[in-house]
Structure 1
Amino acid sequence: METRRILLFFALAAVVVLLYEAWQTDYGSQPVVASSPSAQITDGQFVAPQVSADVPNSPANYVQPLGDTAVTDSATNVAPIQALVDAGNIHVVTDKFDIDIALAGGDIRRANLRAYPVSIVELDNPFPLMSTDPSNLFIAQSGLLSKSKAPDHHAIYSAEASAYTMAEGSESLQVVLYWQSDDGIEVEKTFTFTRGSHLIDVEHRIINNSSAEWSGRVYRQFQRTEPDDAGGFRLIYTYTGGVLSNEEEKYEKIEFSDMRDKDVKLDSANGWAAMIQHYFLAAWVPDKEQSNHYFSKALDDGRYTLGLIAPTVSVAAGAQAIMADKLYIGPKEQHVLEEIAPGLELTVDYGIFDLFSRPLFWLLEKIHSLVGNWGWTIIIITIIIKGVFFPLSAASYRSMANMRKLQPRIETIRERAGNDKQKMSKDMMALYKTEKINPLGGCLPMLIQIPIFISLYWVLIESVELRQAPFILWISDLAIKDPYYVLPVLMGITMWFQQRLNPKPPDPMQAKILGALPYVFTLFFAFFPSGLVLYWVSNSFLSIAQQWHITRKVERAG
């Protein structure tokens, strides 16, 4: 039995190592904050998803518009990033955003999320989800593809102002960019920001003042570089990369390695395209149900593009047409994402334990709505989980208490058997059978806790609602480690005390290994999210109380 317990402890230790590696990936380095886009931009090129052969490295070489032939680019040369930045930016401030929109193409080159500080020690520094920093490039682009002249994300727009701020009491803010060709095609690109929302309406209005029909299609894409690895050996990661959703694939991760291996070329109805970065994401969502062309591409200079192209729209001479989309730039709040597009809430990725994690998060939310503190919420859900498994745990602790009573008789069997392991095992199993004791019964509580433990870990790591959520006293962020290591030490103490309630291992080596585990686990948990350690400590206190009570009852019963 003790051997099995040790193996279970080491299995849990392996899980701890895996989770620690994931935590290191997420928290091992601080996000790069761009101090000045123009100062940080070096060289490189922006590329439009055009088919035109005279555009170098054009994504159009792999994204063939449905039913179209070659598209003529309004700019025959690809402009470097520095030139695009020199075209000027429009600074937009709302209650949710601090954003820069480039006049070159109408790209969103910088997006700071005002409601989400970089860290609890930088509360005045909003989280920079999008940036033109070459080492952490992440921008949102959209434009038009046409056989006629049309503004892609190289085109230079004009605007009525260089800065826009959402006024107090105003429910929305519109930023309109203007472009016009020499043959009478006008395009108004409008960004509409809504108070209280991270969802941006992006609209292309085509005004055909020419004498011929205009036809074209809108594309939307993200362009980014692969984030730098924090260094060191990594076993698992919180996912950062692309995701596509459509009728063919409801939820498909497109990792950077996938983009390097093979371009995505897929025609399918409905859906969306997104880039995920831990607690946050950006997603292009078409405004209506339609057939889209989904694409991805790994460019030669370390940049990646992921996006979709809408069907062709024709605009008669003298007529107008609107191509509307939605762009979400913000936190992965499940209830918000559910309302935006089907399946978008799946970007909150709980991995293989999704089956446990989603109901666990649902219950956490319900409890939090009553108590208003995520720390107390974790303690309450620990009590609930303990109550659900109480009968099973009681049976296990009863088995362990009975094993403890049998220790003198087990020692006698070991002494009689000497080096005859087979005889010792046979006599011990006979003893267990006579006393109706399951030698594996004491291991059951740990087996039960492992999936709950891992599920809660992913809830803490993936759920932005718990990011920077305080508890009490020194615990100011349940999603990061305890700064003073109080909870990990308490966890080690409770583990040590639980071992005192268990039967002593007959083998001295096993006893040494088990005796070292509280110290090993304390070291591991010192770097885990304090919310997870809070769960483990709370569970341990409840387990100690239950096991101590049952052990006393068994001992009194004789």
Structure 2
Amino acid sequence: MTSTRNILLIALLFISYLLWMQWQEDYVQPATAIATPGVVPSTTGADVPEAAADGAAPKATTVAPPTASSTVTPSAQRIIVDTDVLRVEIDPRGGNVIAADLLAYPQQPKDFAHPVRLLDAADASFFVAQSGLISVQGSAIAAPDHQAMFKAERNAYSLGKDDTLEVPLTWTDPSGLSVRKVFVFKRASYVIDQREEIANASTTSWSGNAYRQLQRVPPIVDTKGIKGYSNTERYSFAGAAVYSPTDKFQKLKFDNFQKEPLHKSFEGGWAAMLQHYFFAAWIPASTERDDYSTGLLQTPQGTRYLVRAQSPTITIPPGETKVDNARLYVGPKLQSTLDQVAPGLALTVDYGMFTVIAEPLHWLLNQFHKLTGNWGFAIILLVLVIKAAFFKLSEAQFRSGAKMRKLQPRVAALKERYGDDRTKMNTAMMELYQKEKVNPVAGCLPMVIQIPVFFALYWVLLESVELRQAPFIGWIQNLTAPDPYFVLPVLNGLVMIATQFLTPMAGMDPTQAKMMKIMPVVFGVLFAFFPAGLVLYYVVNGGLGLLQQWIITRRIDAGDKAKA
């Protein structure tokens, strides 16, 4: 994969792949959503779900015109919770998580005073986790939805030296129903356990549903100018996702909420909102068969997107108490630990069609990082492993290239003999190749095999939060951002130029030959906007290939001299 022709082919395939993805997004008709029998999914409505009649299945979001009730203004008093990895704000109105700072992930490298804020109640970046209870239709007993006012014991909590922290909120209604909503935080964990203790002190049974939902606007992504072009966030998936043991992982882009409304019922699943590197997910109890749905919410502040999990009907006789449990994950896409939180949660690290190759590459990178403590050196070791795996194939490629290089004078003589008669020229060249036992396409197989590896590594570097802002050496302090001083792209261009001296171009069309000569410049500019980690991979891979090609060429030349 070191010849300029191979690099050109890879670039063309890469551009074709991006065009194909965009075409899929713009023109492919969406699949029909699978709905629960008897339930009609809706795409626009209020953000409080509608409960079913007593004993019936939950209903989808009710279609309703835009109203001010579709949004909730956070109360002035918030509950601040500090742990070793999270700083969370809980609104007593509804007991909703309306802000979450990820303390280990700064917005800019090493600026830990300004961590990434994943959940946020601000209109421009609205993203909140809501939960509540709703009474069945016709019930005389009220229940606290995510707009009800709860009472808190105090306004600030800190994990301190403890491993577990509980934050309780209470709600009581004159009708006799009381709810104690408890958030449980644990050390070194991005999982927030939620426990709702529902006590019925009335004289009649209470029936209703618990629901958990994520509501947000699309993330703000800079797509302007050169900086926007190199912003890897613009290429990452953003939208809703659900997981079920039967249908596995399903994504829904924000642009497709209107065309592909989701409504399904299953147990052992979860619902999430994904963005680059980070996500939030509601995870109900694994034995609870929840009703999952998506919706568009028209608010005075604009359109918001919602994904919801609604429990089966809960019935509590007079004088009894029941507990409803769920978990909220708010954090990074750490592939190595997510499946320990819930089945399928690691699939939120989305490598697309190259997942089958990207996952082993990510695992190898992790092992090399444990060995070196540096993601840049881990990438270099990965290149060495890949080169070793493809050594024999590459050797065949370079031997074929070296033999063709020796035939250049004879090919040039054929060109002078036949002039512009391309048919006779090609026939004579094929006879020459057969006589000298040279296969001009012998180098294609290694290239074809390694192209998927190139694409898979591109997605690993794009999606792996472990590599986010990871430093290498010297001037490279972020392997997922472009090289700030363009050193690696320049080195890659030099490797390409050196490769051209060992690459046979005899018989090539003059126009094509000129294009090949300017390709190092073209790719130097193109790679200037690629993540530095990917360019590092390509420089090391190309450099090792160049060295291998040079050694093989010298051996063949030395063998010919010995025979002479």
Q: Amino acid of the residue matched to residue 180 of structure 2?
A: E
Please tell me whether the aligned partners of residues 397 and 442 of structure 1 are also in contact (alpha carbons under 8 angstroms).
yes
Residues 1:156 and 2:145 aligned together: no
RMSD: 2.7
Residues 1:511 and 2:513 aligned together: yes
Query: 1:25 aligns to what?
Result: none
Query: 1:305 aligns to what?
Result: 306
Q: Distance in 2 between matches of 1:511 and 1:393?
A: 23
Please tell me whether the aligned partners of residues 412 and 506 of structure 2 are also in contact (alpha carbons under 8 angstroms).
no
Please tell me whether the aligned partners of residues 375 and 471 of structure 2 are also in contact (alpha carbons under 8 angstroms).
yes
Q: Amino acid of the residue matched to residue 556 of structure 1?
A: A
Unaligned runs of 5+ in 1: 23-50
Q: Amino acid of the residue matched to residue 344 of structure 2?
A: G
Deviations 1:357-415 (A, max 9, x none): 11111111112212211111111111111011001100000000000000011111111
Q: What displacement does 1:216 show?
A: 1.5
Deviations 1:436-476 (A, max 9, x none): 11111234443333211111111111111111111111211
Equivalent residues in 2 for 1:483-498, closer than 5 Å:
483-498=484-499
* Structure showing greater relative contact order (alpha-carbon pairs closer than 8 Å, 6 or more residues apart): 2
Structure 2 residue matching 1:399: 3-state secondary structure: helix
Please tell me whether the aligned partners of residues 50 and 134 of structure 2 are also in contact (alpha carbons under 8 angstroms).
no
Which residue, 189, 209, 218 being the options, matches 1:226?
218
Structure 1 residues 102 and 61: CA distance shift in structure 2, 3 A: closer
* TM, length-normalised to structure 2: 0.86
Query: 1:452 aligns to what?
Result: 453
Unaligned runs of 5+ in 2: 21-38
Q: What displacement does 1:68 show?
A: 5.2
Query: 2:25 aligns to what?
Result: none
Q: Distance in 2 between matches of 1:462 and 1:281?
A: 12
Q: Which moved more, 1:124-133 or 1:188-197?
A: 124-133
Equivalent residues in 2 for 1:431-450, closer than 5 Å:
431-450=432-451
Deviations 1:406-427 (A, max 9, x none): 0011111111112211111111
Which residue, 97, 107, 120 being the options, matches 1:118?
107
Q: Distance in 2 between matches of 1:454 and 1:467?
A: 18
Query: 2:189 aligns to what?
Result: 197
Equivalent residues in 2 for 1:400-439, closer than 5 Å:
400-439=401-440
Query: 2:45 aligns to what?
Result: 57
Residues 1:143 and 2:166 aligned together: no
Q: What displacement does 1:268 show?
A: 1.8
Structure 1 residues 93 and 453: CA distance shift in structure 2, 3 A: same
Q: What displacement does 1:59 show?
A: 5.1
Query: 2:32 aligns to what?
Result: none
Q: Amino acid of the residue matched to residue 313 of structure 1?
A: I
Query: 1:317 aligns to what?
Result: 318
Please tell me whether the aligned partners of residues 269 and 286 of structure 2 are also in contact (alpha carbons under 8 angstroms).
no
Query: 2:85 aligns to what?
Result: 96
- Size of the aligned set, in residue pairs, is 517
Structure 1 residues 79 and 211: CA distance shift in structure 2, 3 A: farther
Equivalent residues in 2 for 1:349-368, closer than 5 Å:
349-368=350-369
Q: Amino acid of the residue matched to residue 57 of structure 1?
A: G
Residues 1:526 and 2:519 aligned together: no
Q: What displacement does 1:206 show?
A: 0.3
Deviations 1:184-220 (A, max 9, x none): 2110111100011000001111011111111222101
* TM, length-normalised to structure 1: 0.87
Q: Distance in 1 between matches of 2:557 and 2:275?
A: 55
Structure 1 residues 79 and 423: CA distance shift in structure 2, 3 A: closer
Residues 1:108 and 2:103 aligned together: no
Q: Distance in 2 between matches of 1:263 and 1:502?
A: 54
Residues 1:185 and 2:186 aligned together: no
Please tell me whether the aligned partners of residues 51 and 209 of structure 2 are also in contact (alpha carbons under 8 angstroms).
no
Q: Distance in 2 between matches of 1:404 and 1:342?
A: 55
Percent identity over the alignment is 42
Q: Distance in 1 between matches of 2:167 and 2:307?
A: 25
Query: 1:27 aligns to what?
Result: none
Q: Amino acid of the residue matched to residue 214 of structure 2?
A: F
Structure 1 residue matching 2:188: 3-state secondary structure: coil
